[in-house]
């Protein structure tokens, strides 16, 4: 019997899983499984599109950055959870025998996703603060890219556009990689 041809996985989901796995040190499957297992099922106020599983979007972070916050505190308390909220809001897992796809499916999910985009924008503004930039273009450019990615994610969430969320996820990943090419903060002092 011939093996079924696996369906391609959206590149943003693969890239996000790789980045998350390398940053946290946990296999992508375990991270997705833990997120899926602990997410409370969302009450469905609208029916999901065919083939899309209901998936509750996590609550956005609430840290209000101040100049006293270190870069690590802004990343851990605001940017990382907001980025994860965007990356985990829509995706799919494809195996040789099945495919599970999820996306925001209720007004509450979309509003939470908007909250993640707004939280990401707050983090980007804090990272782009002139005191932190201090003339370093290799810091300023990715901070501006992070700000642009948050605006793209917010617009996609406001339009309720799942395809645009994938595009925003890729833009967000590019911004993160631009910065982390130069700065990887767990072993480095804050700028």
Per-residue pLDDT tens for 10-41?
444 444 443 443 443 333 333 333 343 344 44
- Looking at 73-82, 85-94, 176-185, which range is the least confident one? 176-185
55: in domain: no
Mean pLDDT, the chain, integer: 76
46: in domain: no
100: in domain: yes
The pLDDT score that the predictor gives to residue 126 is 93
Identify the domain containing residue 130 by its residue range.
Answer: 11-38+69-187
- What is the average pLDDT across 116-140? 91
150: in domain: yes
The pLDDT score that the predictor gives to residue 64 is 78
The pLDDT score that the predictor gives to residue 51 is 53
What is the spatial distance between Cα 33 and Cα 186, in angstroms, rounded to a whole number?
25
Checking if the pLDDT of 61 tops 60, the result is yes
2: in domain: no
Q: How confident is the model at residue 47 (pLDDT cuts 50, 70, 90)?
A: very low
Query: How many Cα atoms sit within 13 Å of 18 on the Cβ side?
Result: 11
Total domains in the chain come to 1
5: in domain: no
Beta strand segments in the chain, E: 53-54, 91-94, 99-103
Q: What percent of the chain clears pLDDT 90, i.e. is strictly above it?
A: 49
């Amino acid at each position: 019997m011939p093996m079924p041809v696996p369906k391609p996985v959206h590149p943003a989901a693969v890239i996000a899983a790789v980045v998350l796995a390398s940053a946290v040190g946990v296999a992508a499957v375990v991270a997705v499984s833990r997120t899926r297992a602990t997410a409370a099922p969302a009450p469905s106020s609208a029916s999901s599109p065919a083939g899309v599983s209901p998936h509750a979007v996590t609550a956005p972070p609430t840290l209000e950055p101040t100049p006293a916050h270190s870069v690590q505190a802004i990343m851990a308390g605001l940017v990382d959870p907001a980025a994860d909220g965007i990356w985990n809001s829509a995706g799919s897992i494809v195996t040789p025998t099945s495919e599970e796809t999820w996306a925001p499916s209720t007004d509450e999910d979309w509003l939470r996703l908007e909250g993640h985009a707004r939280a990401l924008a707050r983090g980007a503004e804090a990272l782009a603060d002139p005191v932190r930039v201090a003339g370093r273009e290799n810091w300023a450019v990715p901070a501006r890219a992070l700000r642009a990615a948050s605006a793209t994610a917010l617009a996609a969430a406001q339009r309720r556009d799942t395809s645009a969320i994938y595009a925003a996820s890729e833009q967000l990943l590019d911004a993160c990689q631009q910065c982390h090419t130069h700065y990887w903060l767990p072993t480095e002092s804050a700028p």
